């Protein structure tokens, strides 16, 4: 992966719906080269998928949850259960005092509370800390 690939990925992160012509203009390559690079990035796994980011109505709620797992467990072992929890949009294994960070989005604070209860109700999770998002500035 070279600097042009990284520039292309950055442009796609900002808006993956842009035309190949607009992307080419931004990264200063030809349209066909941009299309070839996107296909190569997809084939190599550097781009796994294209997705949508929902608009954020004023009532939309978001929160992050820090979770400490019971000894001997890993985040990977919880994936089948966590994938079924409505509202969870992102999960990362992390190093430090906690084992994972979970992001959830919902239409109300009640939907965020439902995710918190689902996490806290899992016997595999020893502790959950809730961080409600006040405002979103980047991303």
Q: Please report the pLDDT score of residue 62 as a whole number.
A: 93
Task: Provide the token pair at 112.
Answer: 């965020």
- Residue span(s) of the chain under CATH 1.10.10 come to 3-44
CA–CA dist 72, 3 (Å, integer): 41
- Residue span(s) of the chain under CATH 3.30.70.920 come to 61-132
Name the CATH architecture for the domain at 61-132: 2-Layer Sandwich (3.30)
Whether the per-residue pLDDT at 52 is higher than 80: the answer is no
Whether the per-residue pLDDT at 50 is higher than 90: the answer is no
Whether the per-residue pLDDT at 48 is higher than 90: the answer is no
Q: SS in 3 state form for the chain?
A: CCHHHHHHHHHHHHCCCCCHHHHHHHHCCCHHHHHHHHHHHHHHCCCCCCCCCCCCCCCCEEEEEEEEECCCCCHHHHHHHHCCCCCEEEEEECCCCCCEEEEEEECCHHHHHHHHHHHHCCCCEEEEEEEECCCCCCC
Q: Please report the pLDDT score of residue 58 as a whole number.
A: 53
pLDDT tens-digit profile of 54-107?
Answer: 665 556 789 999 999 999 999 999 999 999 999 999 999 999 999 999 999 988
Q: Is 3-44 a domain of CATH 1.10.10? A: yes
């Amino acid at each position: 992966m070279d600097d042009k690939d990284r520039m292309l990925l950055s442009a796609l992160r900002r808006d993956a719906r842009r035309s190949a012509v607009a992307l080419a203009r931004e990264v200063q390559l030809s349209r066909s080269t941009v299309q070839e690079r996107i296909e190569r990035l997809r084939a190599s796994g550097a781009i796994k998928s294209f997705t949508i980011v929902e608009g954020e109505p004023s009532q939309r709620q978001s929160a992050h949850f820090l979770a400490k797992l019971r000894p001997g467990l890993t985040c990977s072992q919880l994936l089948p259960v966590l994938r079924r929890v409505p509202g969870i949009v992102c999960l990362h294994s992390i190093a430090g005092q906690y084992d994972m960070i979970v992001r959830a989005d919902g239409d109300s604070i009640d939907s965020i509370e439902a995710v918190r209860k689902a996490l806290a109700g899992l016997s595999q999770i020893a502790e959950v800390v809730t961080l409600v998002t006040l405002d979103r500035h980047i991303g």
